[in-house]
Structure 1
Amino acid sequence: MSYPSLTITFLGTGTSAGVPMIACECPVCTSPDKRDNRLRSSILVQSEKTTLVVDTGPDFRYQMLRARLKHLDAIVFTHAHKDHVAGLDDVRAFNFFSQQPMQVYASDMTQEVIIREFPYAFYESKYPGVPDIQLNTIGLEPFMAGDIEVTPILVWHLKMPVLGFRFGRFTYITDANRIEEHELEKIKGSEVLVLNALRKEKHISHYSLGESIEVAKSLKIPQCYLTHLSHQMGRHADVDAELPNGVHLAYDGLVIKV
């Protein structure tokens, strides 16, 4: 199958608290290595014609400024936890310059939270300057966001359903600790897999480092990047040097092409 070329930029690779974590003096949070500074997890996906973001966490405004992004066509949401939706209000800047509503793709469950968290964006009589959002309901069927085909992948965040996404040869999964066999089939054949790995120790609702590596191995994905990392994982330079061939820690600002 022929897929369009995509450029992926990691806008954030940290967990819900970010790294450094407030008030923490651990070696990771005080590290001078810029790769140990991690905003909340999000990626930018760009084809020749379409630019979309996966998730708008609390750092969304700064991520857009840091990436110097001038235009955004769509936002695709994995789930409704605060560290993935809290920055949605800042799409109003894109609305202002494009004079178009922002196309938002989300499950019914995620849309309920978005409407509850940002009710003023959906009032019949809106205050001037509020976000202009066009909600698009997604399930598990592939859909088009501009010229990018997106295949949702159901994963489990303990008991919460979360959506991962495959974009051509690239698959992105965050906030997962279980993926059922029939959903794993959707990932096979990817050239690059991004998977969450919270820390080295086992966690109740996130893959650990070892568990993520095992998933990548079982799927025979050539390149795997780990994201949604907490300060408990350790310093980037130390951990990345210990990883098997083809597995890397992602970091904010990393750009890959697929």
Structure 2
Amino acid sequence: MLNIRILGSGNAGQVPVWGCDCAACERAKQDDTFRRGPCSLEIRTELGVTLIDAGIPNLAERYEFDEIQRIILTHFHMDHVQGLFHLRWSERPEKIPVFRPDDQKGTDDLYKHAGVLDFQPAFIPFETIQFDDFSITPLPLLHSKITLGYVIEKNGFTLAYLTDTVGLPETSQAFLANKTLDYLILDCSEPPTSTAPRNHNDINLALLAYHTLQPKIMMLTHISHRLDCWLMEHGDSLPDNMLIAKDGMTVI
């Protein structure tokens, strides 16, 4: 069993953005299905739940302690780790392993006061880790903090989860080019821009990745209200197998 679900599909500002009255934010205020929380992924197997990133602030309300098998972090920006600050105070004797990139600073005092969070030695890029229920391979991404994407594989199924990034390093792109990707879930925060964004993909870079890597299905995530506004007018111009992530959406 391998069930994968989008927990959050938004960028740091989320949707609706506080104080904004753009078309996308107004739509989200009226219809909760268009709200976007912090970008994150849930992998559920017969052994439990693996979370990729922990930016959702109410994780303690969503999951029982014994459900969470492990947490895997892409990077230490606050919108990807803020949920950990509540979880760590549990007084259970058991520990929850937290896998991470090689960022010696982390965020705030998480390393110093980890509580039930058991931070593991840093992942080594391109070194595949075989868990009991699936394998995962970390890939370097291009972001303002040390950031990893992940290739998840089980029984011939391959999914790449790549957020936050602007384009891809050559080494990561070459690695992915040798894979048959059933799903590519890719950061795309912005509508088409004349110059490449600083930290996140726009539609132009997402389309470049789509044509280069040729996944069977591509899903855009880490979406801003600016991109949502563009999609409201131009979404039908995207390829048929390029989907837009929504909070709670089942991938497989």
TM-score (norm 1): 0.83
Give the direction of change, closer, same or farther, for the CA distance of 1:255–1:64 in structure 2 (3 Å limit). farther
Structure 1 CA distance for aligned equivalents of residues 225 and 87 of structure 2: 29
Q: Does 1:60 align with 2:72?
A: no
- In the alignment of these two chains, the number of paired residues is 238
- Please name the residue that 1:166 is paired with: 151
Q: Is the 8 A contact 1:50 1:148 kept in 2?
A: no
Structure 1 CA distance for aligned equivalents of residues 219 and 60 of structure 2: 22
Give the direction of change, closer, same or farther, for the CA distance of 1:19–1:193 in structure 2 (3 Å limit). same
Q: Does 1:9 align with 2:5?
A: yes
Instruction: Give the drift of 1:113.
Output: 1.5
Q: Is the 8 A contact 1:7 1:256 kept in 2?
A: yes
Structure 2 CA distance for aligned equivalents of residues 174 and 20 of structure 1: 20
| Residue 119 of structure 2, aligned match among 135, 138, 150 | 135
Instruction: Give the drift of 1:149.
Output: 0.9
Q: Which stretches in structure 2 are left out of the alignment for 5+ residues?
A: none
Structure 2 CA distance for aligned equivalents of residues 72 and 242 of structure 1: 39
Q: Does 1:213 align with 2:207?
A: yes
| Residue 105 of structure 2, aligned match among 87, 108, 112 | 112
Question: What amino acid is aligned across from residue 190 of structure 1 in structure 2?
Answer: L
Structure 2 CA distance for aligned equivalents of residues 9 and 65 of structure 1: 17
| Residue 251 of structure 1, aligned match among 240, 246, 251 | 246
Q: Is the 8 A contact 1:121 1:132 kept in 2?
A: no
Give the direction of change, closer, same or farther, for the CA distance of 1:23–1:67 in structure 2 (3 Å limit). farther
Give the direction of change, closer, same or farther, for the CA distance of 1:146–1:104 in structure 2 (3 Å limit). farther
Q: Is the 8 A contact 2:182 2:216 kept in 1?
A: yes
Give the direction of change, closer, same or farther, for the CA distance of 1:119–1:211 in structure 2 (3 Å limit). closer
Structure 2 CA distance for aligned equivalents of residues 239 and 37 of structure 1: 19
Q: Which stretches in structure 1 are left out of the alignment for 5+ residues?
A: 123-130
Q: Is the 8 A contact 2:91 2:116 kept in 1?
A: no
Provide the identity percentage. 24
Give the direction of change, closer, same or farther, for the CA distance of 1:50–1:148 in structure 2 (3 Å limit). farther
- Alignment RMSD (CA, Å): 2.3
Question: What amino acid is aligned across from residue 156 of structure 1 in structure 2?
Answer: L
Instruction: Give the drift of 1:107.
Output: 1.9
Instruction: Give the drift of 1:241.
Output: 3.0
Q: Does 1:224 align with 2:180?
A: no
Question: What amino acid is aligned across from residue 121 of structure 1 in structure 2?
Answer: H
| Residue 147 of structure 1, aligned match among 130, 133, 137 | 133
- Please name the residue that 2:36 is paired with: 38
Give the direction of change, closer, same or farther, for the CA distance of 1:96–1:213 in structure 2 (3 Å limit). farther
Instruction: Give the drift of 1:211.
Output: 1.2
| Residue 48 of structure 1, aligned match among 18, 29, 46 | 46
Question: What's the secondary structure of 1:9's corresponding residue?
Answer: strand
| Residue 22 of structure 2, aligned match among 26, 31, 52 | 26
Instruction: Give the drift of 1:190.
Output: 1.4
Instruction: Give the drift of 1:156.
Output: 0.5
Q: For each residue in 1:105-163, what CA deviation from the matched residue of structure 2 results, as whole angstroms up to 9, or x when unmatched?
A: 01221x5314x4335524xxxxxxxx312111212111134422110011101x54310
Question: What amino acid is aligned across from residue 192 of structure 1 in structure 2?
Answer: Y
Q: For each residue in 1:204-247, what CA deviation from the matched residue of structure 2 results, as whole angstroms up to 9, or x when unmatched?
A: 11110121122022111010000000000125655543321210
Question: What's the secondary structure of 1:11's corresponding residue?
Answer: strand
